[in-house]
């Protein structure tokens, strides 16, 4: 099946084709369109039962719309069948999922410093939630010493992250990238 591409490409002698989100479009002179099999004489604008400048009908089980274009040419639109629409939709979803996976992989740290910055950002989120962690709830609360100790421990997490050595494993990265792809593409 043709991919979505609104740029016309040659289809047959004197006929160009372009693919859109809901149809395949063909353009050319009436005789070339008929010879290419994308139009029948009954679907020509002005034919019995059709309007002067437009026509509608069915051809090979699909809805067809025809309109006059410039310089004696006709534009013929073949709507996608339900199966084609579903296949296109699945293809678009797969492309979006692949883009999501690529963005998640691109966001992974590539240097020890980038990894450390990521860990510090995660620790900052934890630090911001420390207030909620020690806040009274349902009539219960930690005493002031415990709340202060929790804050001190979280501050120590920052110090450890800032000073800790960072190691790297190419194998672990490849496993993580494969996991991200599998999750994004629904292959897990």
The pTM score is 0.53
31-74 pLDDT, tens digit per residue, is 999 999 999 999 999 999 999 999 999 998 889 999 999 889 99
133-155 pLDDT, tens digit per residue, is 888 889 999 999 998 898 888 88
DSSP, residue by residue, 102-166 = HHHHHTS--SHHHHHHHHHHHHHHHHHTHHHHHS-BTTB---HHHHHHHHHHHHHHHHHHHHS--
Q: Is the pLDDT of residue 2 over 50?
A: no
Lowest mean per-residue pLDDT among 22-26, 73-77, 112-116 = 22-26
């Amino acid at each position: 099946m043709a991919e979505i591409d609104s740029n016309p490409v040659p289809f047959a002698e004197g006929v160009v084709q372009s693919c859109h989100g809901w149809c395949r479009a063909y353009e050319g002179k009436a005789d070339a369109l008929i010879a290419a099999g994308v139009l029948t004489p009954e679907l020509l604008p002005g034919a019995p039962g059709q309007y002067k400048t437009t026509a509608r009908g069915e051809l090979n089980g699909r809805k067809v719309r025809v309109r006059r274009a410039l310089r004696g040419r006709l534009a013929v639109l073949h709507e996608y069948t339900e199966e084609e629409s579903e296949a296109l939709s699945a293809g678009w979803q797969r492309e979006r999922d692949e883009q999501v996976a690529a963005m998640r992989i691109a966001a992974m740290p590539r240097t020890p410093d980038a990894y450390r910055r990521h860990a510090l950002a995660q620790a900052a989120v934890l630090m911001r939630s420390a207030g909620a962690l020690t806040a009274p709830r349902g009539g219960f609360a930690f005493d002031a010493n415990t709340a202060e100790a929790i804050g001190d421990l979280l501050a120590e997490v920052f110090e450890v992250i800032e000073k800790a050595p960072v190691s790297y494993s190419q194998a672990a990265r490849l496993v993580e990238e494969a996991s991200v792809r599998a999750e994004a593409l629904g292959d897990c």
